[in-house]
Amino acid sequence: MNKPVVLGIETSCDETAVALYRHGEVLAEAVHSQVDIHRYYGGVVPELASRDHAGYLRIVADEVLSGWEGPIDLVCATRGPGLIGGLLVGLTWARSFAFGRQIPFVGVHHLAGHLAAPLVDPLFKMKPPAVALIASGGHTLIYDLPAWGQVRLLGGTRDDAAGECFDKAARMLNLGYPGGPAIQSAASKHVGPAIRLPRPMLKQGIEMSFSGLKTALLTEVNSRSKPLSEESVSELAFALQDAIVDVLVTKLRYALQLTGRDRVIIGGGVAANQPLRDRVEALTREGIEVYVPPRKYCTDNAAMIAAAGSIQFEHFGPDSLDAPAQARWDLQQYWPAS
């Protein structure tokens, strides 16, 4: 099949997303965000998320498909990991669409989607092997990517994900939800020296931990007079962001040294953070080839799911229509290294 047109569906967390994709090109896409629903609670409420997916998926899909008159060759939907209710909404819709039109179906691993996000950019020319960092609200992992469709886990967080740490820190500082953009905005207002928060496990290989950093921030918050001044909030936001970015970039360096690779890809919602993007892109001065996706493709989207599904279909063929949703799922089971 020459450059198939792929319909992608993403409903694993709090975005209802649909896209039409053809190798290196997003033909159409739409996203319905649930941020306003979950902001009141300071985080994603699974039951509310799944109900909202059920209410909006058809609307979002119609928006994407209404102007498309060409063929659709493959249907892909996220089937894990993620919130099981949302996964089931997307899978059920996608499988029904595929069955009714006799189109092959592929269930996609959400993290494979983040790894494949660069493929939606027509300017992307890098080829594996590479080291890949996925940093989001639910995952912080570093993989060796020998080839598309193959991964080997090098290390990851032992507790909180980097994005989760941003969210919890934003709550401590009364900055709202989602935490990543709120912390970055507050940190950008800081001028002058700042306290230095700890970098847990900084010199212990590629493993990471962010729970201690969160605790250190809470201790610092509790030691200051209330309410916190705007200067204190911006200083603490800066210190936390600086620590997280420092850990992630240091671990990327370890991974490059361990594997001997000279290419880096980053993805996931935390990859939208500007200081992290700047620090990773600075690796080019050391002879490392770097790709950082546009921000809209760092956060959850359906184009990346379609791109990953294309790889999966090419290497492993279609899935059964009864392939189950999986709340937890090791990416190495989906894309095993040879």
Answer yes or no: is pLDDT of 196 > 70.
yes
What angle (nearest 5°) sits at the alpha carbon of residue 241, between those of residues 278 and 296? 55
Question: What whole-number distance in Å separates Cα of residue 27 and Cα of residue 135?
Answer: 27
Give 20's strand partners. 7, 28
Those residues with Cβ within 8 angstroms of residue 60's Cβ, 6 or more apart along the chain or in another chain: 16, 17, 18, 30, 31, 32
Q: Which superfamily does CATH assign the domain made up of 6-121+297-334 to?
A: ATPase, nucleotide binding domain (3.30.420.40)
Mean pLDDT of all residues in 54-69: 97
From residue 2, alpha-carbon distances to 265, 305, 316 in Å are: 26, 19, 16
Answer yes or no: is pLDDT of 1 > 70.
no
CATH 3.30.420.40 fits 130-292, yes or no: yes
Q: What is the pLDDT of residue 56?
A: 98
From residue 290, alpha-carbon distances to 98, 255, 262 in Å are: 36, 14, 9
Question: What whole-number distance in Å separates Cα of residue 102 and Cα of residue 39?
Answer: 40
The percent of residues in the chain predicted with pLDDT above 90, rounded, is 96
Give me the residue label for tokens 């992630």: 248
Domain edges within the chain: 6-121+297-334, 130-292
Q: 159: exposed, middle or buried (C-beta count within 10 Å: 0-12, 13-18, 19+)? A: middle
Mean pLDDT of all residues in 21-48: 95
What average pLDDT does the structure give for the chain?
96
- In three-state form (DSSP H/G/I as H, E/B as E, the rest C), the secondary structure along the chain is CCCCCEEEEECCCCEEEEEEEECCEEEEEEEEECHHHHHCCCCCCHHHHHHHHHHHHHHHHHHHHCCCCCCCCEEEEEEECCCHHHHHHHHHHHHHHHHHHCCCEEEEEHHHHHHHHHHHCCCCCCCCCEEEEEECCCCEEEEEEEECCEEEEEEEECCCCHHHHHHHHHHHCCCCCCHHHHHHHHHCCCCCCCCCCCCCCCCCCCCECCHHHHHHHHHHHHCCCCCCCHHHHHHHHHHHHHHHHHHHHHHHHHHHHHHCCCEEEEECHHHHCHHHHHHHHHHHHHCCEEECCCHHHCCCCHHHHHHHHHHHHHHHCCCCCCCCCCCCCCHHHHCECC
* Rg of the Cα atoms in the chain: 20
Mean pLDDT of all residues in 118-134: 95
Model confidence pLDDT, tens digit, residues 210-251: 999 999 999 999 999 999 999 999 999 999 999 999 999 999
Residue 204's pLDDT band, with cuts at 50, 70 and 90, is confident
Model confidence pLDDT, tens digit, residues 270-328: 999 999 999 999 999 999 999 999 999 999 999 999 999 999 999 999 999 999 999 99
Mean pLDDT of all residues in 196-221: 95
Nearest to 325 by CA among 19, 94, 68, 1: 94
Mean pLDDT of all residues in 154-182: 96
Question: What whole-number distance in Å separates Cα of residue 29 and Cα of residue 52?
Answer: 18
Mean pLDDT of all residues in 112-129: 95
Note whether 34 and 319 are within 8 A (CB): no
- Before 4, cis peptide (omega within 30)? no
Phi, psi for residue 209 in degrees, rounded to 5? -150, 135
Note whether 280 and 249 are within 8 A (CB): yes
Q: What is the pLDDT of residue 338?
A: 81
Answer yes or no: is pLDDT of 91 > 70.
yes
Q: What is the pLDDT of residue 214?
A: 96
* Length of the chain counted residue by residue: 338
Looking only at Cα atoms, what is the longest distance across the chain?
Answer: 65
Domains 6-121+297-334 and 130-292 fall in the same CATH topology: yes
Residue 2's pLDDT band, with cuts at 50, 70 and 90, is confident
Which two tokens mark 109? Answer: 């691993």
